[in-house]
Structure 1
């Protein structure tokens, strides 16, 4: 059985570079995140406990701190085998990284790919790791990758693991050589050790046992110098497993050492693989007691492993279903918004058309009213001119009649002769005809000229007589007492008395002008 070692990109963040004044919450969260980050590998449970405390200040910290929190959470959950929670943190980190700086998303793609690798979803893992590799290459091309960012190249090692699982050993070897070159260039001892582990595995499967042993020995040597016991447990396994057919005693030694370290460090995958290999070796040496001992351990671990694998698959299905539900809800929400927008647009079109038509109608009506008013004004001006002209003609006619009457009166004698009687009749007819003409013509013209004024006057003062109505009209036209007297054939005193009675009837003070009153009426 293959033991594959995946590489996580540990969260890094430089708060010291931020010269901005931090709030109290940001300071508290920074301390919690630094503690959590230091424990992601050695004590992931405690790391997550610190993160949960930091999450209480989620709404009070910057996006940069929140992103750092999500990154730490992803790594801690992976190390604790809390894969669903790791995916939740990972995708949140991905969304926030896209908002802050999309060029650095390849780091997060790598870690999410590792989660799917732990869940045995090879295709999904490959997809995300390829996205990480693509982002890495773009970052290098654009000059946004820092030379000392060792973690950026971990994707090559993880893709190699995917290819090993798929038995694409040549492709895996290509990826490992690239990663080894970068690890040596950046003096990344941990990366070199991991590369030696995987190279030993790949070369063994490519039927190159000597090269496989060479990299195992180099890895063991480096792990001892660095005191990396986890790496040593895996390398002992590779060294022993690769010698099980050619040097059984050597194989037993390395496998036993690997099993011991696996027990001490609680590496269940190491214990399972070494116990199976040791059970077979001891059976081949006819040591059935030792063989059964390791076989029982292997069976127990296998059952546990199968149970864990089934649990992981179930969790993955649940997570995928939850994601689908969220996507469906988001889709429904989007469709609802689109439908509302569409409904609003559909509603807006007829409303806009109706509004436009109403506006046009109002404009047309306004233009029509303007034209009608202009015509009415023209008509009123024409009538006023006619009324004024007639009034002048009446005045002129009255003057002629007065002059004629005076002349005829001078011709008339006191004798009762037919000629005198005829002159008297003519003078009488002139007076009567003149008065009749004045009243009829003036009233007709006045009503035609200002019908509204006439109606309003009768509505407000229904008890006015015809003579009083005529007097109102004369006042509105600003005729003097003398002019009114000449038109109506009444004396000036009679006109003044009539004006006084009219003021009382309409409730107007003596010092108030009738002309001003009626023009504003």
Structure 2
């Protein structure tokens, strides 16, 4: 039940990580001040357009997840500016972020349009685009999963694998690849392709473990727990949940721990330990209310309604179903409307009101949104078949049995066709890539040759036309040539004269400004010195007057020395920053550049999430860097890494 919620929570996690670009630019503790500096920079008409795009995307990333259209407006402006520059790389960046924003807002169909736009501008032969292309297909696959279009989701995840399996892979790319294999495993398991699902999850773990990608390892353990839950092996299912808990504790992930608890509630429900399952979810509801995420709250209430229904407490089940309806109004997600209708039908079935249950389910089938959600439609067909059997209506039962089988077979057929694609893509990758590039190169050469032929034809036609025009008008052109040259020369001389006058005027004006400013400063300093002399000659009558004179003298001296003090202050700030970096390099010369950046940010008091946003990496990668810093600096377990770095 909580599988979809896990993916949605993962998207929410990614959305917060998307502040990465913004935080990369932020080296100060005062983020609000940096925000204002970005906004101020955008007002500068002379700001280079590439920097303007970076600033717009940074602001869009920062506001992603906040109420209103602020993030969307910044990202849209970045997209439009990238389009005007024909900058395909930044167009892909902008569209991918817009797609993530729409998934966060549960507008999955709109997200698909944005990923299509991102891929339209991708350069499939440019290595710097590969990670972005793979990421686009991953977002596309996630959107299809939310829409219950597993066949399309599978195709998208397989395409993502193609670009994430490129020879040169950094840790971030490997992290995406591990997540991709986990998603593929979930799709195969949903259609009972258990063998290929287990092979995919083993591949995910083999990639994630060497790089200590705890988040991805935990996700794989959650999958294995769900796998054994479906096999009714509750003991092993719980063991994998315990392993996932350990992984999430390593990275202090509240989102992950919350999801493990809810999966544990699923196990309790299967074991018919209703009180334990309900206790877990009631506790999690309090946490979800603080997060303010209506999507997860709706899922929580539906779970409780189902649990109480199975425990034959239908009055409480109806109460929580009403709570789910209220929460669903805020999320405005068609999938929730479908699930609520299904649960209502099940409650009618429990009290043997089969006709009401049938009416509820058939009303869902008449809605516009159900056509998108194929898995839910398949479930409803099966439920209607069972209800008509209970009503002793074999004709309608047969109709919905056939519909269920047809839809189920079509889904399985699509997935079966792609069953081995995910593993084969790794083994014959180089061969496929070579064939693809050869074919594309041939197409490109053919297109270029055709283009050159057209250009040559147009050239000859144009040349003949020019020759004809030359012979016809040669006499008139020759006569007017001298006149045109003279007029052109005179015009150029006039333009040069005007430009010279303008430049002379501007130089005179600037010189006057400089002279006036110098005179003003000199006169001001002379006046201040005269005032000081006169003040020194004033006879002091009492201590009060003496204090006033001393304060006035001090004020004058401060004004004179003001610029010198400002220059000295900036030098001190630069020396302080340079001093810490120099100490770090001298004391720990085994740190790489990214580990140095993480250490500096920890010294400034940044959290793991903020560091992830600054460096453009996942939170799991930040925890890996923190783990490496502990090892290389010799920080013992239980000792604060942040305090240790501050004391360097």
Q: What TM-score do the two structures reach when normalised by structure 1?
A: 0.52
1:275 aligned to 340, 344, 350, which one? 344
* Alignment of 1:208 onto 2:273: yes
Checking the alignment, whether the CA contact within 8 Å between 1:258 and 1:274 is kept in structure 2 is no
Summarize the Cα distance change of 1:212–1:153 in structure 2 as closer, same or farther, 3 Å threshold.
same
1:295 Cα deviation after fit: 6.4
Checking the alignment, whether the CA contact within 8 Å between 1:279 and 1:295 is kept in structure 2 is no
* Alignment of 1:138 onto 2:210: yes
Residues of 1 paired with 2:360 and 2:143: CA distance?
A: 32
Summarize the Cα distance change of 1:272–1:304 in structure 2 as closer, same or farther, 3 Å threshold.
farther
1:92 Cα deviation after fit: 2.9
> 1:62 matched to which residue of 2?
129
What CA deviation, in whole Å up to 9, does each residue of 1:94-147 have, x standing for no partner? Answer: 23323232743312211222332444534332321232123222222xxxx3xx
1:266 aligned to 328, 334, 337, which one? 334
Summarize the Cα distance change of 1:239–1:132 in structure 2 as closer, same or farther, 3 Å threshold.
same
> 2:534 matched to which residue of 1?
none
Summarize the Cα distance change of 1:290–1:193 in structure 2 as closer, same or farther, 3 Å threshold.
farther
Unaligned runs of 5+ in 1: 337-521
1:26 Cα deviation after fit: 1.4
> 1:37 matched to which residue of 2?
100
* Alignment of 1:253 onto 2:319: yes
Residues of 1 paired with 2:169 and 2:431: CA distance?
A: 29
> 1:72 matched to which residue of 2?
139
Residues of 2 paired with 1:165 and 1:275: CA distance?
A: 24
- How many residue pairs match? The answer is 323
Residues of 2 paired with 1:50 and 1:318: CA distance?
A: 28
What CA deviation, in whole Å up to 9, does each residue of 1:201-240 have, x standing for no partner? Answer: 2012234333212112112222222222332233223323
What pairs with 1:69-468 in structure 2 (closer than 5 Å)? 69-99=136-166, 100-101=168-169, 103-104=174-175, 105-140=177-212, 145=213, 150=215, 153-183=218-248, 186-244=251-309, 245=311, 247-258=313-324, 265-267=333-335, 270-271=339-340, 273-283=342-352, 290=356, 293-294=359-360, 302-304=379-381, 306=404, 308-320=407-419
What CA deviation, in whole Å up to 9, does each residue of 1:73-101 have, x standing for no partner? Answer: 23233223343333233223223323232
Summarize the Cα distance change of 1:208–1:134 in structure 2 as closer, same or farther, 3 Å threshold.
farther
Checking the alignment, whether the CA contact within 8 Å between 2:341 and 2:361 is kept in structure 1 is no
Checking the alignment, whether the CA contact within 8 Å between 1:229 and 1:261 is kept in structure 2 is yes
> 1:412 matched to which residue of 2?
none
What's the secondary structure of 1:167's corresponding residue? Answer: coil
Residues of 1 paired with 2:148 and 2:133: CA distance?
A: 22
> 2:369 matched to which residue of 1?
none
Residues of 1 paired with 2:413 and 2:343: CA distance?
A: 28
Residues of 2 paired with 1:211 and 1:6: CA distance?
A: 20
What's the secondary structure of 1:78's corresponding residue? Answer: helix
Summarize the Cα distance change of 1:183–1:133 in structure 2 as closer, same or farther, 3 Å threshold.
same
- Quick one: higher RCO (CA 8 Å, sep 6+), 1 or 2? 2
1:173 Cα deviation after fit: 1.5
Residues of 2 paired with 1:289 and 1:333: CA distance?
A: 56
> 2:395 matched to which residue of 1?
none
Residues of 2 paired with 1:39 and 1:128: CA distance?
A: 28
Residues of 1 paired with 2:143 and 2:429: CA distance?
A: 29
Residues of 1 paired with 2:413 and 2:244: CA distance?
A: 34
1:187 Cα deviation after fit: 4.5
Checking the alignment, whether the CA contact within 8 Å between 1:3 and 1:270 is kept in structure 2 is no
Checking the alignment, whether the CA contact within 8 Å between 1:163 and 1:171 is kept in structure 2 is yes
Checking the alignment, whether the CA contact within 8 Å between 2:100 and 2:111 is kept in structure 1 is yes
> 2:639 matched to which residue of 1?
none
Summarize the Cα distance change of 1:128–1:319 in structure 2 as closer, same or farther, 3 Å threshold.
closer
Q: What TM-score do the two structures reach when normalised by structure 2?
A: 0.43
Checking the alignment, whether the CA contact within 8 Å between 1:107 and 1:152 is kept in structure 2 is no
1:175 Cα deviation after fit: 2.0
Residues of 2 paired with 1:325 and 1:150: CA distance?
A: 26
Checking the alignment, whether the CA contact within 8 Å between 2:209 and 2:217 is kept in structure 1 is no
What CA deviation, in whole Å up to 9, does each residue of 1:314-362 have, x standing for no partner? Answer: 32244459999999x999999x9xxxxxxxxxxxxxxxxxxxxxxxxxx
1:297 Cα deviation after fit: 5.7
Summarize the Cα distance change of 1:220–1:63 in structure 2 as closer, same or farther, 3 Å threshold.
same
Summarize the Cα distance change of 1:304–1:182 in structure 2 as closer, same or farther, 3 Å threshold.
same
1:27 aligned to 83, 90, 109, which one? 90
Unaligned runs of 5+ in 2: 26-49, 55-85, 367-376, 383-403, 436-648
Summarize the Cα distance change of 1:177–1:297 in structure 2 as closer, same or farther, 3 Å threshold.
farther
What CA deviation, in whole Å up to 9, does each residue of 1:234-264 have, x standing for no partner? Answer: 3223323322335332123224444665685
Summarize the Cα distance change of 1:304–1:24 in structure 2 as closer, same or farther, 3 Å threshold.
same
Summarize the Cα distance change of 1:95–1:321 in structure 2 as closer, same or farther, 3 Å threshold.
closer
Residues of 1 paired with 2:271 and 2:432: CA distance?
A: 53
Residues of 2 paired with 1:288 and 1:180: CA distance?
A: 42
Residues of 1 paired with 2:194 and 2:327: CA distance?
A: 28
